[in-house]
């Protein structure tokens, strides 16, 4: 599967999914007018890629400074799919980056770690 890239906008994150290198990146802010429309293609391509993985390792780096509630639902869908891939024998490593002073983003990441235990979770505090 080829790379999938979307440049960041004022209300959508950079999406740099380098499927051949097994590295996925979400970076920026996420409050699109329609989260379902924005994340739909991302979820479809990621699911198709994960369906082909067998006993492999995938790294995902999330560096979101802000996301709204509709983006939260889409992120849960993404992590649900990643967790399933981990349960099927793949190693999924999540690097969750958060501002050192942003408890909300950190707490969301910790909630992901609790809800999706098959994903190897690492929180990284970033100095502002």
**Distances in whole angstroms, Cα of residue 41 to Cα of each of 4, 33, 34, 36, 50:** 10, 15, 12, 9, 14
CATH number, domain containing residue 105? 3.30.750
Instruction: Say whether pLDDT at 128 is over 80.
Output: no
pTM of the model: 0.94
Q: Is 44 helix (H, G, I), strand (E, B) or coil?
A: helix
Q: Whole-angstrom distance between the N-terminal and C-terminal Cα of the chain?
A: 36
From 122, 117, 114, 109, select the one nearest 75 (Cα to Cα).
109
Tokens 């590295």 sit at which residue? Answer: 23
pLDDT band at 127 (very low <50, low <70, confident <90, very high): confident
Number of compact structural domains in the chain: 1
pLDDT tens-digit readout, 27-86:
999 999 999 999 999 999 999 999 999 999 999 999 999 999 999 999 999 999 999 999
**Hunting for tokens 């849960």 — which residue is that?**
76
Return contacts of 121-126, CB within 8 angstroms, 24+ apart: 121/94, 121/96, 122/93, 122/94, 122/95, 122/96, 123/96, 123/98, 124/95, 124/96, 124/97, 124/98, 125/98, 125/99, 125/100, 126/63, 126/97, 126/98, 126/99, 126/100
Domain of residue 106: give its range: 4-126
């Amino acid at each position: 599967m080829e790379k999938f890239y979307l440049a960041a906008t004022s209300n959508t994150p950079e999406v740099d999914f380098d499927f051949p290198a097994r590295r996925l990146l979400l970076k920026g802010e996420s409050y699109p007018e329609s989260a379902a429309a924005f994340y739909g293609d991302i979820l479809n391509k990621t699911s198709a890629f994960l369906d082909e993985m067998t006993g492999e390792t995938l790294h995902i780096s999330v560096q979101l400074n802000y996301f709204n509630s509709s983006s939260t639902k889409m992120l849960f869908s993404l992590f649900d799919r990643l967790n399933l891939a981990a349960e099927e024998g793949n190693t999924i490593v999540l690097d969750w980056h958060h501002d050192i002073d942003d408890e909300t983003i950190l707490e969301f990441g910790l909630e992901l770690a609790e809800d999706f235990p098959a994903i190897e979770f690492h929180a990284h505090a970033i100095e502002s």
